[in-house]
Every structure is written in C-alpha cells, then in structure tokens.
Amino acid sequence: MNDRPVFDQPFELWREDGVLHLVLGMGAQVRISDMKEFIRLVAALDRSGNSPVLIEHARGANVAEDARMLLRRVCGAQGHPVGLLAIDPEGRAQAEIFKILERPAFPFRVFARRDEAWRWVRERRQLAALVMRP
C-alpha cells in the first residue's frame, strides 16, 4: 500500500478572512515547479487579484533563486501585498535579502511576530476593499 500523500507540495495554502495564508513546511525546499503551483492556486482562490498574502516561513525552509524571481515577476504584475512571518533569524535574513536584492514592486514586509504580521495583512485587505468600492 502506498503511504505517500496525494499532494506532494512543500506548502499549504488557504483563504481566511480575505487573506491568502501560505505555510511553508519545516525544511521545505521550494522549487520553481512548486512556485508555479502556488501562483496557480492563488489565482484560483483570489479572482480579484488583490488579496494580501501572509507567508509563514518555517525553520529551514528555502526558496530556490529561480522560484523567487518568478514570484517577484508575477506578484509585481498582480500587486498582491505579501507579509512574510519568519520566527527564526535565518528565515528573516533570507526574506530581508529578497527584499533588498529583488526590490519587489508589490508591498512586502518581513515580520518576526505573528500579531504584527496579521495586523499588517488585514490593513492591506481593508485598503484593497476601500479601493474597490464604487
């Protein structure tokens, strides 16, 4: 009997209160194929294209260079605000390097505390709702 999971992704993604929540698993290695799946799922969950994304970067998770470049290009075109929660210093350092080197065209912040990250993405959600009002 095969005990492998049906979906073999290094992340989980769901929509909660208008925020797309992405959790990278501990030690996850995100390749470009994983990033393409993430982008496809975001598009399916958010037809408007402006919901904020909260990424939880687990200890030891790593995103390949080509996957980061794809994320920057696609999110820059779509404009999703991205808040990245990294509890461990190594994950925060990786995210800060991404912010400096890639200079994303979308709002991007790095957080060490969950409450601050949630507050920021909820504010982005409220701003998007104000912009979309007729």
Instruction: Encode pLDDT of 53-91 as tens digits.
Output: 899 988 888 888 898 888 777 766 667 788 999 988 888
Q: Is residue 126 part of a domain?
A: yes
Q: Is residue 28 part of a domain?
A: yes
Q: Is residue 6 part of a domain?
A: no
Q: Is residue 33 part of a domain?
A: yes
- Placement of tokens 């912040």 in the chain: 109
Residues 6+ apart with CB under 8 A from 72: 98, 102, 104, 105
Q: Is residue 54 part of a domain?
A: yes
Instruction: Encode pLDDT of 85-121 as tens digits.
Output: 998 888 888 888 888 887 877 888 999 999 999 999 9
Q: What is the number of domains present in the chain?
A: 1
Range of the domain at 65: 11-132
CATH code, domain carrying 99: 3.30.750.24
Confidence of residue 1 (pLDDT cuts 50, 70, 90): very low
Residue 133's SS3 state is coil
Q: What is the pTM of this model?
A: 0.81
Instruction: Encode pLDDT of 14-53 as tens digits.
Output: 898 889 998 988 888 889 999 898 888 888 888 877 789 8
Q: Using CA atoms, how far apart are residues 41 and 130, in angstroms rounded to an integer? A: 25
